Amino acid sequence: MKNGILTFLIVVVACAHAMAQPLIDREGVASFFSEAPMEDIEAVNREVLGAIDLDKGTLAVSMLMKKFHFDKSLMEEHFNENYLESEKYPKATFKGMIKNLAALDFSKEGTFEAEAEGEMEIHGVAKPLSTMVRFEVASSTLKASTDFSISIADHDIDIPKLVIKNIAEVVEVKAVFNFKK
């Protein structure tokens, strides 16, 4: 009898641990906008991998730089070859934590904000990043969205002086993920 209860408890604990898997979205959307005196530049990546562990409060994002698409193919080529050097630095990543996790209840439907803090790596350079994340909780989905600014100089992205007025020094970034519970 004792062995049966012990076995049952082990199965319950193992099942609970297995159910606490991170939520994953392989079709997250990231975009950036560069407003400069000569020209505005916008690009979208619709194949961003995002993961969130609601129990631990961890967040992770990974995207291939070559998946950003522009209205003009020449901009896309310059972005990948000249500025981001996508062959040498193929990915951008973010790894972080939700700061106020204990105050959040992801089991209740509604909308709320939380601060995420972590490290963003672009062009081989990792920098601290703190951003607000908006969560929209529904019965079977969790939407997470954020927007923040990135200084291109912080990530050692060189812009030739000839085109410096075409590209903003600070780029506005947006990201949206739709996780299925």
Question: Does 55 fall in a domain?
Answer: yes
Question: Does 12 fall in a domain?
Answer: no
* Residues 6 or more apart in contact with residue 69 via CB below 8 angstroms: 43, 44, 45, 76
Could you read off the pLDDT of 73-98 as tens digits, one per residue?
A: 998 998 999 899 999 999 999 999 99
Question: Does 28 fall in a domain?
Answer: yes
Q: What pLDDT score was predicted for residue 168?
A: 85
Q: What pLDDT score was predicted for residue 158?
A: 85
Question: Does 4 fall in a domain?
Answer: no
Question: Does 17 fall in a domain?
Answer: no
Question: Does 162 fall in a domain?
Answer: yes
Q: What is the mean pLDDT of the chain?
A: 89
Helix (H) or strand (E) holding 38: none
Hey, how many other C-beta atoms are within 10 angstroms of the C-beta on 39? 14
The count of structural domains within the chain is 1
Q: What is the mean pLDDT of residues 31-49?
A: 92
Distance CA 14, CA 9 (A): 9
Indicate whether 1 pLDDT > 60: no
pTM of the shown model:
0.85
Question: Does 44 fall in a domain?
Answer: yes
Question: Does 29 fall in a domain?
Answer: yes
Range of the domain at 46: 22-180
Say which CATH number the domain at 75 has.
2.40.128.110
Could you read off the pLDDT of 113-170 as tens digits, one per residue?
A: 999 999 999 999 999 999 999 999 999 999 999 999 999 999 999 887 777 667 888 9
